[in-house]
Amino acid sequence: MNSSILLEVFKNAFSSIAEEMGLVLQRTAFSPNIKERRDFSCAVFDKEGNLVAQAAHIPVHLGSMPLSVKEAIKAFKGEFEEGDMVVLNDPYMGGTHLPDITLVAPFFYKGELLFFLANRAHHADVGGATPGSMPLSTSIFQEGFIIPPLKLMKRGELNEDFMKVFLRNVRTPEEREGDFKAQIMANITGIKRLRELIEREGIEKVLFFSKELMNYSERIIRERIKALPEGEYEFEDYMEDDGYGRKDVKIHLKLKVEKEKLIFDFSKSDDQTRGGINAVRAITLSAVYYAVISLLGSDIPVNEGCFRPLEVITRKGSVVDAEFPAGVAGGNVETSQRIVDVVLGAFSKAIPEKVPAASQGTMNHVTIGGINPENGEPFTYYETIGGGMGASAKGDGESAVHSHMTNTLNTPIEALEHYYPILVTEYSIRKGSGGEGMHRGGDGIVREYEFLTDVEVTVLSERRRLAPYGLFGGKPGMPGINLIKTEEGEKEMPSKFSVYLKKGDRLRVETPGGGGYMKEE
């Protein structure tokens, strides 16, 4: 069998391990956010923490997870035993925001450390100021329970002391414990499948192709960069507010195409904000990696090799490289989307035929918490809501989908209403919200909730004032709208707010449409 065929065989072998890890995690998790929305990611890494293969899960997780794996290796100086697993969620150590908890498991074969398996899952509550752990924060200490690299498992034994402390600090401990156990089983599954691959193909061949896959991806990405027009391309866009009165927070990029290398310079982006829309560097890297792979490498194996020709320059203390202890909960769900908009905007000046107009540019993040009247227990519900995709040279944008840095599903109404004291009174496409053009932007979504008990609601969103941009004469998408409906009437809310609502009150979210592409003829 020739090497190109074997390369394809091993690409699929490694990625199928990550895919099966994801299936186990989804099917054994307790929370709807993981089992219904699939808000998790799984991947395989070499012993240095370099990405070997990933499943097609959440882009904002997958670009940053290598940093968390390397932090785990660093914390324990590479000293691991079979059955160990490291847990961490610290955004300043390769994480994204505190609800995203990563489990890293070393893989040994005949006593030798060869690989790491890791998964990251969004837990619906990890403590903090508001249910769902996504508050309008001014500090990471308000956002929940911070976990530096610790051994959750040691030689196969669960760290019960850690679990006791963690579960005491969250609103829904039974659900959290169940999701942790699902993550453990996902890594155990990955270890089992990787061992089977080595026993079937031989250790030398598996190690060789784990490296060769990275080299192959690097070669292809470099070739495609060489085909781009050399030069410098600048673009900027804005976060409309930080939730504390600061408006129009600039994200600026100078993209330099230099032979077979891409340089992304975000140095002129604004300083970090008081409100928690700051992105840690891991988020910025994820957004850059996602955009490059989407444009240049969607048909090749995604691994560390894809990232080698990319240089990302950020300024410490800026909104795209926040310094501890800045609040970062919204940086993961909102600022990540704007960074993608800026990267794609810069590329639109270099390869206009390949780049779409702006998609909705927000995850429309909603968290709801209260006491469930059926059992008297606390509940927390978390979801993001899809919207319109930007149109492109190929055609109209898709309507009512998640885009860019999230790859989750909208929670099925039946699941939401089954688990929580919430009714969904409307769930529809927001007709006409896509930007006009030769090709129209996709339409957003209307989602309205009625609460069957008193609740605390937090919404983190964007593109309520600054619309998703069109390209080359295409019109912008329609901005989103947040409304609350109470016995006092209907009230339009800002892009970011937290509010107490009573039984019978409603929340209505109308998500943005995507931008249009070129002028209508």
The four Cα atoms 240, 244, 246, 248 give a dihedral, to 10 degrees, of: -10
Mean pLDDT of 25-39: 92
Mean pLDDT of 299-325: 96
The whole-chain average pLDDT of the chain stands at: 96
pLDDT of residue 477: 98
Nearest Cα residue to 366 out of 326, 330, 337: 330
Q: What is the per-residue pLDDT for 140?
A: 98
Nearest to 96, CA basis, from 23, 172, 40, 164: 40
**What is residue 240's three-state secondary structure?**
strand
- Residue 287: pLDDT band (50, 70, 90) is very high
Strand intervals (E) in 92-139: 100-109, 112-122
The answer to whether the beta carbons of residues 220 and 297 sit under 8 Å apart is yes
- Record the tokens describing residue 300, joined without a space: 């090749």
The full length of the chain comes to 521
Q: Which amino acid is at 377?
A: E
DSSP output for 263-296: EEE-TTSPBP-SSS-PPPHHHHHHHHHHHHHHHH
Closest CA to 514 of 483, 477, 488, 482: 477
Residue 1 has pLDDT above 60, yes or no: no
Local structure of 368: helix, strand or coil:
strand
| DSSP string over 370-439 | EE-TTTS-EEEEEE---BPPPPBTTBPPPSSB--TT---PPPPHHHHHHHSSEEEEEEEEETT-SPPSSB
- Distance in angstroms (rounded) separating the CA atoms of residues 77 and 298: 35
Those residues whose C-beta lies under 8 Å from the C-beta of residue 289, and which sit 6 or more positions away, are 59, 62, 63, 306, 307, 310
| Residue 333 clears pLDDT 90, i.e. is over it | yes
Taking residues 123-145, what's their average pLDDT? Answer: 96
State how far Cα 119 lies from the chain centre: 13
Per DSSP, the three-state class of 345 is helix
- Quote the pLDDT of residue 59: 77
DSSP 345-358: HHHTTT-TTT-PPP
| d(C-alpha 319, C-alpha 312), whole Å | 15
Could you read off the pLDDT of 349-386 as tens digits, one per residue? 999 999 999 999 999 999 999 999 999 999 999 999 99
Q: Other CB atoms closer than 10 Å to residue 200's CB: what's the count?
A: 10
Tokens representing 461? Answer: 């969103």
Q: Whole-angstrom Cα distance, residue 361 to residue 148?
A: 31
Res 56 pLDDT > 90: no
Read off the pLDDT of each residue in 25-30 and give the average, rounded to a whole number: 96
Higher pLDDT, 300 or 345: 345
**Structure-token pair, residue 276:** 């928690």
Task: Indicate whether 69 pLDDT > 90.
Answer: yes
pLDDT attached to residue 152: 98
**pLDDT surpassing 90 at residue 246:** yes
Give yes or no for a contact between 241 and 496, defined as CB atoms under 8 angstroms apart. yes
- The pLDDT, as a whole number, for residue 355 is 98
Kindly state the helix (H) or strand (E) to which residue 457 belongs, with its residue range: strand 455-460
Average pLDDT of span 481-504: 98
Q: What pLDDT is attached to residue 96?
A: 92
CA 83 to chain centre: 28
Angle CA 168–173–178, to nearest 5? 135
User: Which DSSP symbol is given to 334?
Assistant: I
Cis peptide before 325 (omega within 30 of 0): yes
Q: Are 121 and 141 in contact (CB under 8 A)?
A: no
Say what the pLDDT of residue 231 is. Answer: 97
Look up residue 186 and give its two tokens. Answer: 């996902």
Query: Mean pLDDT, to the nearest integer, of 285-293?
Result: 95
Whether residue 252 contacts residue 269, with contact meaning beta carbons closer than 8 Å, is answered with yes
Q: Is the pLDDT of residue 343 over 70?
A: yes
DSSP 140: G
Q: What is the mean pLDDT of residues 117-132?
A: 96
3-state helix/strand/coil string of 29-91:
CCCHHHHCCCCEEEEEEECCCCEEEECCCCHHHHCCHHHHHHHHHHHCCCCCCCCCEEEECCH
Percent of the chain at pLDDT above 70?
99
Contact 116, 123 (CB under 8 A): no
Q: What is the DSSP-derived secondary structure letter of residue 359?
A: -
Q: Which tokens is 485 given?
A: 């409906």
